[in-house]
Amino acid sequence: MINSKLLLVTLVVISAANLSFAQKVNEPQSRNLQWSQPYPPFRIVGNLYYVGTYDLACYLIVTREGNILINTGLAASASLISDNIKTLGFKMSDTKILLTTQAHYDHVAALAAIKQQTGARLMADASDATALEDGGSSDYELGKYGKSFEPIHVDRRLQNGDTIKLGDMRLVMLHHPGHTKGSASYLFDVKDERKKYRVFIVNMPSIITERKFSEIQAYPDIAKDYAYTLDALKKVSFDLWLSSHASQFGLHTKRKAGDAYNPEVFSDRKEYEKSVADLEAQYRKKMEAEQ
């Protein structure tokens, strides 16, 4: 004899699972047209290239054993990135590793499509893995949209200081949480015809929530994580720095489309320190409001 209560519970669980699986992607409609605006790809330094949109920074690292793509922008940007890579003379199919600086739709929404297209492995900060695999629905702030990007399986969960290897490249992932639970930066060396540079692709810890940190139950360590990251950023040594948004590192004031190759325009340490100081001031102001 069938236990009617057990059957009812089973049906509820199955229905809930099916509803979760069938939930459609609800990418927020950004009013920032620069996020989807095309921008000519260019060589930043050595084997590192810019392949993103006008403001959403995406980076291609080329090696003899395949390429690494960091960030993808919005879902509709997949073809734009592919076209930029082809314009530079490289093949999208040579993409072997996918990385991201944060699990927000404006930086990862095309990851699933590119992963499927290329067969590349996704490596991400372990603390952002859950958000990547549930399409952002577990994000403490943007989870209000439900799935804001297509969920994607994380093939390797990275811890602070882990090294990503491909060809002769070695990238160190730095855990810089706050903006998301697993925001990440990358530190690596590249060479050009003249010298070697230490490059820092930093995820700047901007504050996106208007709520008090103490009210964010889904991320109880958020205030502590911001404090950790702001302190850690002051201690990083580098020659050139870039970030998740072109506007964060002043791309369009430092370089105009068509300018000649000049890595040194991305070397301003004082500008970097000012950016970090500005973010720290915003953090302290928010912490004061917590009292």
How would residue 14 be classed by pLDDT, with cut points 50, 70 and 90? very low
How would residue 147 be classed by pLDDT, with cut points 50, 70 and 90? very high
In this prediction, residue 250 carries a pLDDT of 97
Percent of the chain whose pLDDT exceeds 70: 92
Give the CATH number of the domain where residue 278 resides: 3.60.15.10
- Whether the per-residue pLDDT at 87 is higher than 80: the answer is yes
Residues pairing with 58 in the sheet: none
Count of structural domains within the chain: 1
- Alpha-carbon dihedral sign for residues 17, 29, 98, 226: negative
Tell me whether residue 22 is in a domain.
Answer: no
In this prediction, residue 168 carries a pLDDT of 96
**Cα(142)–Cα(105) distance, integer angstroms:** 9
Instruction: Please answer whether residues 175 and 226 qualify as being in contact, where contact means their C-beta atoms are separated by less than 8 angstroms.
Output: no
- The torsion angles phi and psi of 25, rounded to 5 degrees, stand at -70, 130
Find the mean pLDDT for residues 8-24: 46
Domain residues for the domain of 40 are 31-289
Tell me whether residue 68 is in a domain.
Answer: yes
Tell me whether residue 50 is in a domain.
Answer: yes
Tell me whether residue 97 is in a domain.
Answer: yes
In this prediction, residue 13 carries a pLDDT of 39
Closest CA to 149 of 97, 111, 95: 111
pTM of the model: 0.91
How would residue 135 be classed by pLDDT, with cut points 50, 70 and 90? very high
